[in-house]
């Protein structure tokens, strides 16, 4: 960006703050040495949708292309961020907690930190409306996708099955991502699939328009059991009536979703990202409804994952 234009943008930002409106400051020069890729997820999921719109906003702000990458989800995103292949990415709170602790699927701690808590994600266990599967314990012996390899979906699916007393080895699991699971469901190649995402997840909404679906309920005792054995990141939740054309609410479990970055990402770059995230919230929410749930007061609650210093600076400098 030219020096004169940078100064105009900075002055506009100062004026906006003065009247109580969040504005953008000039982007940091440290972007020249940083990745410009956002680690998203399945192209039919909320991660990719959110990431695509955030990438567009950052591209406009920076004057340089920022792109979103299709990935397998949380675990894959965290690995990409830690290796420098993405500047930020989306991750479930449980997977992020495992990453910083070096537990679960992570053989050693990853040098990653949180940028913001974005919204809660909901576990979906999707079957056809006319399926004979009525309960999680009916999944034994069935063809069920437990999520793609290196996905947060697979993490939650295996933990829930253990809590429900279902041996995952008895399930025929093709390890599909969301888009592939939807295709396989429509062609009757699988009996159901697990998914963890915001409400509504676009791909599942489209699937429900093509074939009637049901969501299997999750008992609170199972949620409590998973929490006792793992990070404590989960809570009982309802998927509201009317979602995906299902008349009754469905008991399930929810987990917070974080925007993550590498520990060594320059502070100024993270400040640019989190500032853009909040400044563009209403615009992004017009296309990605969960973006409206971003809340400055809640965004800082990412424990046990530490906030990046650049994000902390933004939150402290923009306190009311």
How much is the CA Rg of the chain, to the nearest whole Å?
20
- Tens of pLDDT along 104-129? 899 999 999 999 999 999 999 999 99
The pLDDT, as a whole number, for residue 189 is 98
- Beta strand pairing call for 88-92 and 250-262: antiparallel
pLDDT at residue 138, as a whole number: 97
What is the rounded CA–CA span in Å between residue 309 and residue 316? 10
Question: Distance between CA atoms of 210 and 266, rounded to whole angstroms?
Answer: 46
CA distances from 55 to 69, 89, 96, 143, 284 (A): 10, 11, 22, 36, 11
What's this model's pTM, rounded to 2 decimal places?
0.83
Distance CA 104, CA 86 (A): 22
Q: Which of 292, 296, 300, 198 is nearest to 240 (CA)?
A: 198
The stretches in the chain having pLDDT less than 70 are 1-27, 231, 320
């Amino acid at each position: 960006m030219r020096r004169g234009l940078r100064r105009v943008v900075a002055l506009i930002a100062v004026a906006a703050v003065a009247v109580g409106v969040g504005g953008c400051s000039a982007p940091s020069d440290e972007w020249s040495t940083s990745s410009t890729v956002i680690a998203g997820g399945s192209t039919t999921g909320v991660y990719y949708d959110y990431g695509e719109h955030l990438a567009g906003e950052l591209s406009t702000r920076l004057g340089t292309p920022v792109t979103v990458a299709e990935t397998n989800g949380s675990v894959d995103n965290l690995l990409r961020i830690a290796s420098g292949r993405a500047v930020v990415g989306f991750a479930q709170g449980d997977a992020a907690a495992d990453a910083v602790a070096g537990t679960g699927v992570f053989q050693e701690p990853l040098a990653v930190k949180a940028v913001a808590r974005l919204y809660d994600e909901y576990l979906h266990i999707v079957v056809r409306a006319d399926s004979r599967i009525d309960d999680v314990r009916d999944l034994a012996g069935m063809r069920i996708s437990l999520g793609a390899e290196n996905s947060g979906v697979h993490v939650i699916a295996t933990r829930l099955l253990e809590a429900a007393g279902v041996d995952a080895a008895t399930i025929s699991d093709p390890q599909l991502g969301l888009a592939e699971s939807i295709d396989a469901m429509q062609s009757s190649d699988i009996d159901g699939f697990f998914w963890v995402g915001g409400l509504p997840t676009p791909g599942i909404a489209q699937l429900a328009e093509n074939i009637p679906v049901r969501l299997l309920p999750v008992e609170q005792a199972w949620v409590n059991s998973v929490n006792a054995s793992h990070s404590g990141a989960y809570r009982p939740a309802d998927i509201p009536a009317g979602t995906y054309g299902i008349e009754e609410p469905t008991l399930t479990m929810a987990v917070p979703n974080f925007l993550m970055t590498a520990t060594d990402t320059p502070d100024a770059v993270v400040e640019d990202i989190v500032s853009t995230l909040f400044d563009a919230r209403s615009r992004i929410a017009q296309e990605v409804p969960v973006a409206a749930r971003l809340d400055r007061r809640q965004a800082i609650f990412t424990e046990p994952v530490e906030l990046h210093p650049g994000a902390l600076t933004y939150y402290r400098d923009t306190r009311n």
